[in-house]
Amino acid sequence: MENWKQNPRVFWTLGIPPSLWLLAFFIIPLGFLFVMSFSDKAMVDGQVSITGYDYLTGITNYIRAFDSLYLGIMWKSVWISALATALCLLTAYPIAFGICFAQDKWKPLLLLLVVLPFWINLLIRTYALIAVFRTQGYVNKILGVVGLGPYEMLYNNFAVIFGLVYVYMPFMVLPLYATIERLDKSYLEASLDLGGSQFQTFLRVTVPLTMPGIISGIILVFIPCLGSFLTPDLLGGANALMIGNVIERQFKAANDWPFGSALSFLLMYATFGALALRYLFTLRSKGVDV
Amino acid sequence: MAAQLKPGQGPLDYGSRTWLKVLFAVIFFVLYAPIITLVAFSFNTDKRGVVWRGFTLDNYTKAWNNASLIEALTNSLVIAVIATVIATVLGALTALLMWRFRFPFKGAYEGFMALPIVIPEICMGVALLLFFVNSGMMELFVHLPWPLNLGNIIFAHVTFCFPFVAVVVRSRLVGFNRQLEEASKDLGASEWQTFWSIIVPFMKPGLIAGALLAFTLSLDDFVITFFTSGPETVTFPVKVYSLVRRGVSPEINAASTVLIVITVVATVLAMKLQAPPKADKG
């Protein structure tokens, strides 16, 4: 790698276009959002203006975000995301483990099968779930055969959590697969030789050694779950609101952009917090990075 | 599949454990059954899509004759193609910059380039909405003739696509043998000649894979487009969203199937091209 001073002309030619683009269409928009989050709607002749704003008036929007109503929604977003992440981990771990111990010729195909749904449009996958879970859908039909139901399986928290697991599971499999694949299998043999049961070996050797992959997977799933909008919007109905839906509402129906901006920034801070946690964990378990 | 596995009952032969195979079968079933049902029912004659009544292509004809659906699909494809071209160029420039140079605050710059990948889509969507409205770009582009009125959406798509392209291209560049570059320069080639006839051909698989990734990301995006599109500039996912809100219909199944086929083909191609030329590096 050469120092940029050795060839400044090439350095600037390569660096300026992408940096300017990111500045114009990412950093400046975030700046607008930041300013808006500290602003208020302007009052014109004693009435709230629709499009006018008083900029940088204070932190009222952030204070309002900590109303019990919004605090409740934030808490709900966190636990729904946490539960979905945990379920992803429980299903993805055996999958990743199984792929690693499958015969070599099957591995690429199995991995492709796990990853492929991820490439299908999120909206379409969610729509596919709606079709299967609705009252006349297949799940209820099968339950009907055994004399159960029909149940209302959509438009509640169950549907949102199932949808999130369904949609983000591949994100969990990949980092787990990467660490389990690199795990030195002789540790497992050693543990079994020394009299550890399969279960003990799993809990005390495999899990600790694959912790970096587990952490990465948790973060990779938790972040998009927390910020999800489409899944709770389509599967959740009115009483399964998450923070993403509240933000959307502020920018569309409720037309309260300053408040929506403040909520967006809170969501971003939560995301950065999760990323910082991951960074701390990778520092601690140095060496094995995913 | 079972016939090809060895009878191996060794303690580490987890691959041949029955419970694991059953679990695989169950999870893959849950993962694929909804999608397969969706595709199958796009060929169904039953209007409500509840029971299978017979094979037909009517839903495809209906979707094809639905002018607003076709318009949305055209918009999506035009946006995806233009955004892909710009994102591939910007992504390649970023990758080359990071690969070739040492410079102050490189770590910070790298983190800054990864931001569009990590921040929640909805935050990026509302930030761009705010920016387009306040900078007057929304107003400006809405009145332009097609396809220029898609400008805002294209800007937004390039922004979230090009960091992904940069990652893909950079991982390709890591395998480059720098001696080739030195040899080229020793033999009297200029910076530009070396770039064009040595580095670009080497980067090509990465560029194609990155471009296909950008294309799929752009074609699939709903959230950011939802916030940056005007009433006249509806893309395919935004159109499907408005249809889905009204309920299940075989026409949506047909339209979705077409989109699934496009993205799956693009993805499988990208994966083939991205596969390292030699042995896999752990």
DSSP-derived 3-state class of residue B79: helix
Whether B120 and A227 lie within 8 Å, measured CB to CB:
yes
A224 to chain B: which residues are within 8 Å by CB?
120
A87, pLDDT greater than 90: yes
Determine if the peptide bond prior to A224 is cis (ω within 30°): no
Whether residue B22 is found in the same domain as residue B109: no
Does the interface ipTM go beyond 0.85?
yes
Across the interface, do A22 and B113 touch by the CB < 8 Å criterion?
yes
Residue B45 belongs to some domain of the structure: yes
- Assign residue B171 the CATH number of its domain: 1.10.3720.10
> How confident is the model at residue A287, as a pLDDT?
52
Q: Where are the beta strands (DSSP E) in B16-175?
A: 101-102
pLDDT at A240 (0 to 100)? 64
From A22, A97, A181, residue closest to B14, measured CB to CB: A97
pLDDT at B9 over 60: no
Q: Of residues B140 and A85, which shows the higher confidence score?
A: A85
Q: What is the pLDDT of residues A212-246, one digit of tens each?
A: 889 889 988 999 999 999 999 999 877 668 999 99
Question: Does residue B94 share a domain with residue B20?
Answer: no
How would residue B278 be classed by pLDDT, with cut points 50, 70 and 90?
A: very low
Res B281: pLDDT: 40
B23 vs A contacts (CB less than 8 Å): 94-95, 98
- pLDDT over threshold 90, residue A9: no
In a domain, B3, yes or no: no
Look-up of token digits 């399969």: A198
Take residue A20 and report the two structure tokens written for it.
Answer: 């300017």
Best of B24, B29, B100, B126 to mutate (most A CBs within 10 Å, chain A) = B126
Q: For chain A, what percent of residues have pLDDT higher than 70?
A: 97
Q: In this predicted model, what pLDDT tens digit does every residue of A237-260 receive, in sequence order?
A: 776 689 999 999 999 888 889 999
In this structure, the answer to whether residues B134 and B22 fall within a common structural domain is no
Q: Could you tell me the residue range of the domain that residue B216 belongs to?
A: 67-274
**Are B45 and B124 part of one and the same domain?**
no
A10 part of a folded domain: no
Q: How many domains does chain B contain in total?
A: 2
Q: Which of A188, A175, A207, A202 is nearest to A111 (CA)?
A: A175
Domain count, chain A: 1
- What average pLDDT does the structure give for chain A? 87
Residue at B122 is within a domain: yes
Chain B residue closest in CA terms to A250: B126
The distance of Cα A239 from the centroid of its chain, to the nearest Å, equals 21
Q: Does a structural domain hold residue A51?
A: no
Cβ–Cβ contacts within 10 Å for residue A4, how many?
19
Whether residue B9 lies inside any domain: the answer is: no
Pick B15's closest partner by Cβ from A103, A130, A264: A103
**Please, what's the b/e burial string for B182-218 (b: 16 or more CB within 10 A of its CB; e: otherwise)?**
eebeeeebeeeebbeebbeebbebbbbbbbbbbbbbb
Which of B56, B84, B107 terminates a domain? The answer is B56
The pTM is what?
0.86
B227 and B178 in a single domain? The answer is yes
pLDDT confidence band for B68 (50 / 70 / 90): confident
pLDDT at A288 over 50: no
pLDDT of residue A81 exceeding 90, the answer is yes
B25 and B112 housed in the same domain? no
**Which candidate in A51, A110, A120, A155 is best for mutational testing of the B interface (most B CBs within 10 A)?**
A120
CA distance A89 to A95: 10
Do B251 and B212 have their domain in common? yes
Residue B50 CB neighbours (<10 A): 17
Using a CB-CB cut-off of 8 Å, the residues of chain B touching A30 are 127
Q: What is the mean pLDDT of residues B123-132?
A: 95
- Structure token pair of residue B48: 């409500």
Residue B138 is assigned to a structural domain of this protein: yes
pLDDT at A57: 82
Query: Domain range holding A220?
Result: 65-284
pLDDT digits (tens, 9 = 90+) for B142-201: 888 888 889 999 999 999 999 999 999 998 888 888 888 889 888 988 888 888 888 999
**Are B98 and B202 in a shared domain?**
yes
Whether B98 is covered by a domain: the verdict is yes
Instruction: Give B121's contacts in chain A (Cβ within 8 Å).
Output: 227, 229
Contact A169, A92 (CB under 8 A): yes
On whether residue B8 sits in a domain, the answer given is no
Q: B5 in a domain, yes or no?
A: no
Residue A3 is assigned to a structural domain of this protein: no
Does B99 share its domain with B28? no
Minimal Cβ distance to B220: which of A21, A30, A121 = A121
| Residue B235, both tokens | 């893309």
Residue A255 burial (C-beta neighbours within 10 Å; 0-12, 13-18, 19+): middle
Write out chain A residues lying below 8 Å of B97, CB-based. 11, 14-15, 18
Chosen for mutation from A127, A161, A165 (greatest number of chain B CBs closer than 10 Å) is A127
Q: Work out the pLDDT band at B10, boundaries 50, 70, 90.
A: low
Number of Cβ pairs < 8 A linking chain A and chain B: 227
Give the list of residues 6+ apart from residue A167 with CB closer than 8 angstroms, or none: A122, A125, A126, A231
The residue of chain B with its CA nearest to that of A53 is B134
Give the CATH number for residue A134. Answer: 1.10.3720.10
Residue A254 counted as domain residue: yes
Q: Are residues B103 and B237 in the same domain?
A: yes
Residues B77 and B197 in one domain: yes
pLDDT at A197 over 90: no
At residue A290, the pLDDT reads 42
Q: How far apart are CA A120 and CA B203, in angstroms?
A: 27
